[in-house]
Amino acid sequence: MSMLEVKNFSKRFTIHHLGETMHAVEQIDFSLERGEFIGIVGKSGSGKSTILKSIYRSYLPDKGSILYDSERFDKIDLSKATERQVLNLRQYEIGYVSQFLNVMPRTTSRQLVEKALLEMGEQKEVARKEAQRALKHFELDRKLWDTYPNTFSGGEKLRLNIAMATVKKPRLLLLDEPTASLDQQSKMKVREIIEKLKANGTTLVGIFHDIEFMEGLCDKVFDMKTRELITTKMKAGVAGES
């Protein structure tokens, strides 16, 4: 089977104080093969993050299935997986990076990256070495390694975020606008990282604000407006709006 198959997926939210239900996304279908990179485009509020969060199971879908070809559990419907399975997959197989850094307080950058590795059962010494390698690789200034990231700049937070997610070498990596508010140089760095991950066989689903960034990077593009999956390499202007 494909690495990921999103089938007839819908998600509604109940706005309790209004007593109303609203559809965030309806009837989404797409699939991707191992090692592919799919980009999701569409205007703000069209439900892109909702799809990604449902794959990561931060949200539970109302309808449809999200079939993932897992290493540990074989074929698994992420919309029906148990909490235990979800935790296991997040620990070993599925990574998530957003523009926001949501981490334990009073924990240094180094400790955060080490923790990601220790969670996977790595030995302390190995975790220490790997964490250093990752922080160096993503060019996080050495003087920031042993400080708390709450005061970091957007670019620094992002690099730490990516280091934490990629140090685990996830099979499936979800990227929710990780380049938002980054300067051009930092964006190019992210692009390089994505290219490296792809070369190593990581399957990726990404949302990016600028279409230019996605050009030549995505194998498939899913357009929220037309609900169509375009299988050719991305061409500028395909999405129309972002």
Ligand X SMILES: Nc1ncnc2c1ncn2[C@@H]1O[C@H](COP(=O)(O)OP(=O)(O)O)[C@@H](O)[C@H]1O
| Distance from C-alpha of 215 to C-alpha of 105, rounded to nearest angstrom | 37
Gyration radius of the chain over CA positions? 18
Give me 162's structure tokens. 């990516």
CB of 61 to ligand X, least distance (A): 12
Residue 44 binds ligand X (CB under 6 A): yes
* Residue from 4, 9, 36, 50 in contact with ligand X (CB under 6 A): 50
Given candidates 9, 36, 49, 131, which one binds ligand X under the rule CB under 6 A?
49
Residue type, 26: E
Long-range contacts of 237-241 (CB under 8 A, 24+ apart): 237/211, 238/41, 238/211, 239/41, 239/42, 239/211, 241/42, 241/43
Q: Output the smallest distance, CB 104 to ligand X, in A.
A: 22
**Residue 46 contacts which entry, Mg ion, ligand X, none (Cβ below 5-8 A, type-dependent):** ligand X
Tokens linked to 78: 């992420």
| Options 39-47, 89-97, 98-106, 123-131: segment touching ligand X (CB under 6 A) | 39-47
Instruction: Pick the closer one to ligand X by CB: 46 or 203.
Output: 46
# of chain residues touching ligand X (CB under 6 A): 10
| Residue with Cβ nearer Mg ion (111 or 242) | 242
Measured from the CB atom, the residue of 13 and 142 that comes closer to ligand X is: 13
In the sheet with 74-77, reading across from the earlier edge strand, the strands are: 20-32, 4-15, 63-70, 74-77
Nearest to 12 by CA among 57, 59, 77, 55: 59
Residue keyed to tokens 């990752």: 134
- State in angstroms the smallest separation of the CB of 49 from Mg ion: 3
Using DSSP, state whether 152 is helix, strand or coil: coil
Q: How far is the CB of 201 from ligand X (least distance, A)?
A: 27
Question: DSSP for 86-111?
Answer: HHHHHHHTEEEEESS----TT--HHH
194: helix, strand or coil: helix
* Residue 186 contacts Mg ion per CB under 5 A: no
Contacting Mg ion (CB under 5 A), which of 49, 79, 166, 203? 49
Q: Which is nearer to ligand X, 45 or 216 (CB)?
A: 45
Size of the site for Mg ion (CB under 5 A): 1
Q: Which stretch binds Mg ion (CB under 5 A): 2-10, 15-23, 42-50, 88-96?
A: 42-50
Provide the binding-site residues for Mg ion, judged by CB under 5 A: 49
Provide the binding-site residues for ligand X, judged by CB under 6 A: 13, 24, 42, 44-50
